[in-house]
Amino acid sequence: MFPHLPDRYWLYNVRVPACLISGSISESIAIEPNLDGLALLNIEVRNGKIATILNSPSTSQSTPQIPLEEVLQVDWHHGIALPCFIDVHTHLDKGHIWDRAPNPDGTFESALRTVAHDRDMYWTYEDVYRRMEFGLKCSYAHGTKAIRTHIDCPEPQMAASFKAFQELRDTWRDRLYLQVVSLISLDLFMGDYGEQVADRIAELGGILGGVAYVNPDLEPQLDRLFRLAKDRGLDLDFHVDETDDPESNTLLHVAEAAIRNNFTGQIVCGHCCSLAVQDTEVAMKTIDLVKQADIGIISLPMCNLYLQDRTSKRTPRWRGVTLLHELREAGVPVAIASDNCRDPFYGFGDHDVMQIFAMSTQICHLDRPYGNWSRTVTQTPAGFMKLKDAGQIKVGASADLILFKARSFNELFSRPQSDRIVLRNGLAIDTTLPSYSELD
Residues annotated as part of the active site: 242
343/420 Cα distance (integer angstroms)? 26
Q: How many helices (H) and strands (E) does the chain have?
A: 13, 17
382/361 Cα distance (integer angstroms)? 20
> Is the backbone peptide bond immediately before 381 cis, with ω within 30 degrees of 0?
no
- Give 148's strand partners: 179
293/305 Cα distance (integer angstroms)? 28
Considering only the C-alpha atoms of the chain, give the largest distance between any 2 of them, rounded to a whole number of Å. Answer: 71
E-state strands within 153-309: 177-183, 208-212, 236-240, 267-271, 295-299
183: helix, strand or coil: strand
183/207 Cα distance (integer angstroms)? 10
Length of the chain measured in residues: 440
348/125 Cα distance (integer angstroms)? 24
CB 19, CB 34: distance < 8 Å: no
400: helix, strand or coil: coil
| 46 CB burial (10 A radius; 0-12, 13-18, 19+) | middle
Task: Name every residue whose Cβ is closer than 8 Å to that of residue 347 and which is 6 or more positions away in sequence.
Answer: 98, 102, 103, 106, 306
375/357 Cα distance (integer angstroms)? 10
324/326 Cα distance (integer angstroms)? 6
E-state strands within 84-143: 85-90
Give, in order, the Cα–Cα distances in Å from 15 to each of 55, 61, 246.
10, 13, 42
194/293 Cα distance (integer angstroms)? 24
DSSP state of 341: -
Task: Name every residue whose Cβ is closer than 8 Å to that of residue 25 and which is 6 or more positions away in sequence.
Answer: 31, 53, 54, 55
E-state strands within 103-224: 144-152, 177-183, 208-212
375: helix, strand or coil: helix
